[in-house]
A and B are shown apart, each in its own frame.
Chain A
Amino acid sequence: MTVLSEHHSGKKRNASPCHTSINGVGVGFRSNHFEYIEKNQPDIPWFEVLIDNYMMDAGSSLYYLEKAAEAYPVTFHGVGMSLGSTDQLNKDYLEKLKNLIKQFNPVYVSDHLCWTSVNGYHSHDLLPMPYTDEAIKLLVAHIKQAQDFLERRILIENVSSYLNFKDSIMSEWEFLKIVVEESDCDVLLDINNIYVSAVNHNVDAIQYIKNIPAERVKEMHLAGYTDMGTHLLDTHGEAVHVPVWKLYEQALNKFGNIPTLIEWDNDVPEFSVLEEEAAKAEVIMKKVRACAA
């Protein structure tokens, strides 16, 4: 008889405590660190949960999420809404998301300014939108639908891109600004993605940040890209690079001390490495705060 792997069974759970805000620098809640976090309760102000990994009814992940949500504020970050797709929104996905929101009370729920699937086929990747009026209309309708269904405002994150569509008639920041204002959602500003796209398309990253409406930005992301020689690739597999730290400081100057997340999804290191990255971001936050005072 072979026992392959031990895990905790799925069972009915109580709702987690209701945290209403996050502050400072959080890190991603990843399976590599589940046991470490449960055992050591590290001094991290909040965790961001990749919520698509918790849509199953069973498995140990839900157990660890329950434990984390009891001790820390959490935010939900998704990749599955496919808000920019010409397919209809996936009701089953939204239903599962809504149930998890009720159960774990995340401070924010976010997804991306992109599409991931069409005609029932899924890329499981964040695909860019053409910056057109038709795309704005579709995104606004889908974001409103999602917000109505979830009964809460969501945050939309800018993605890295490696191409331009011929049909685009405006810049990405103009597109993002119109979408968030017309759909009345908030922004999760990924500083690494801004930098990656700016380098790949020869545009000004500072200009991008200057044009984002400050009152909409509720969270920021920092991550590491990989330099492929011909382009930068958003891999989330390295430490945050120097130019991104510099851009982050500029962003804090404009938006104030917005809660920030250290994202690391590939070749995930020891938890202490994430803590070091978070500490670096905290130092920049303090510096900007001191300058502003």
Chain B
Amino acid sequence: MLHELQTSFLKGIYDASVENNAYPYLQETTERTAEQQLSIYRGSIFGGLKKALAETYPVTKELVGDDFFNMMLGQYIKTYPCSVQDLNDYGEELPDFIRELKQARSIPYLADIAQLEWFCNSVLNTEIQRNNLVELEFLNTKQKTQLRLNLPNGSTLFQSNYPVDEIWGMHQNDIEKELELTEELVNLIVWQSEFGIRIDKLTLEQFYFLEKLNQGLTFVDVCADVINRYPKSDINFLFVNALQYGWLQSYEI
């Protein structure tokens, strides 16, 4: 009985129809109908989830304004009720939801901005691992052939047809300027250093190099793959450059 009540109640929160399954469980009073009682909880639950999503997606919110953002989140929450215990993990599907949302098409880069914000949120909630790359010089020749290099824990490689890093940066610093949307491919890595989250722009070669490393290939195979795709590549430069920027975190044999 209790299970049916709780199931109907939570289902009823996301269902505002007249034949709501939760109503039969509620005692109507002279002050409040069953619908009014449930709507108080609906407002509170939706309000809490919207607040959490607004903290995860502040630039998306700023780009569309409070009213549109609230309307969009209302639809999103009904489509994707929260199924995670930690509110920091709620909202992963919002970028794809925006991509499909007709009313959001006037801002073509909105879904990519939301995607970038989700990656920032995810990496922020990841523990920083110890960097063990100083031990690389002690590897013998056989070990070096088996070497696999890892990107920082929780980092994400991301490509967009819009300058989402610049749009994102302008909103962080309250800068207002005209941006030319050239639909030129932007390659990014979102990662976390000991000083905070970083969004770094990459060349195509850098992106490909890091992407292959991230797929778990050995360093030897990655080098061969990169040379095959970009014959003029300077592997030594790509490797040293990635080390210097901090895009490599650890190794394994």
Q: Which of B30-38, B106-114, B134-142, B235-243 contacts A (4 or more CB under 8 A)?
A: B30-38
Q: Which of A57, A86, A162, A202 contacts B6 (CB 8 A)?
A: A86
Residues of chain B contacted by A167 (CB below 8 angstroms): 1, 5, 25
CB of B63 within 8 Å of the partner chain: no
CB of B224 within 8 Å of the partner chain: no
Query: How distant is B17 from chain A, measured CB to nearest CB, in Å?
Result: 18
Q: Which of A121, A135, A163 contacts B2 (CB 8 A)?
A: A135
Query: How distant is B180 from chain A, measured CB to nearest CB, in Å?
Result: 20
Asked if A164 and B41 make an inter-chain contact with CB atoms under 8 angstroms apart, the answer reads no
Query: How distant is A13 from chain B, measured CB to nearest CB, in Å?
Result: 13
A-side interface mostly: loop
B-side interface mostly: helix
Residues of chain B contacted by A7 (CB below 8 angstroms): 124, 196
Interface size on A, residues (CB 8 A): 49
CA distance A164 to B165 in the complex (A): 50
| Per-residue interface assignment for chain A, residues 118 to 141, with 1 indicating a CB less than 8 Å from any chain B CB and 0 otherwise | 111111110100101011001000
Given A123-B45, A162-B37, A1–B200 Cβ distance below 8 Å? yes
Interface size class on chain B is 35 or more
Residues of chain B contacted by A130 (CB below 8 angstroms): 2, 5, 25
Residues of chain A contacted by B3 (CB below 8 angstroms): 86, 118
| Per-residue interface assignment for chain B, residues 7 to 38, with 1 indicating a CB less than 8 Å from any chain A CB and 0 otherwise | 10110010000000000111101011010111
Asked if A4 and B31 make an inter-chain contact with CB atoms under 8 angstroms apart, the answer reads no
| Per-residue interface assignment for chain B, residues 182 to 226, with 1 indicating a CB less than 8 Å from any chain A CB and 0 otherwise | 000000000001111111110000000000000000000000000
CB of B126 within 8 Å of the partner chain: yes
Asked if A118 and B128 make an inter-chain contact with CB atoms under 8 angstroms apart, the answer reads no
Asked if A57 and B83 make an inter-chain contact with CB atoms under 8 angstroms apart, the answer reads no
Residues of chain B contacted by A247 (CB below 8 angstroms): none
Interface residues in chain A, defined as those with a beta carbon under 8 Å from any beta carbon in chain B = 1-7, 9-10, 52, 55-59, 80, 85-86, 90, 92-93, 115, 117-125, 127, 130, 132, 134-135, 138, 162-168, 201-202, 230-231, 233
Interface residues in chain B, defined as those with a beta carbon under 8 Å from any beta carbon in chain A = 1-3, 5-7, 9-10, 13, 24-27, 29, 31-32, 34, 36-38, 40-41, 44-45, 48-49, 52, 81-88, 120, 124-128, 165, 168-169, 172, 193-201, 245
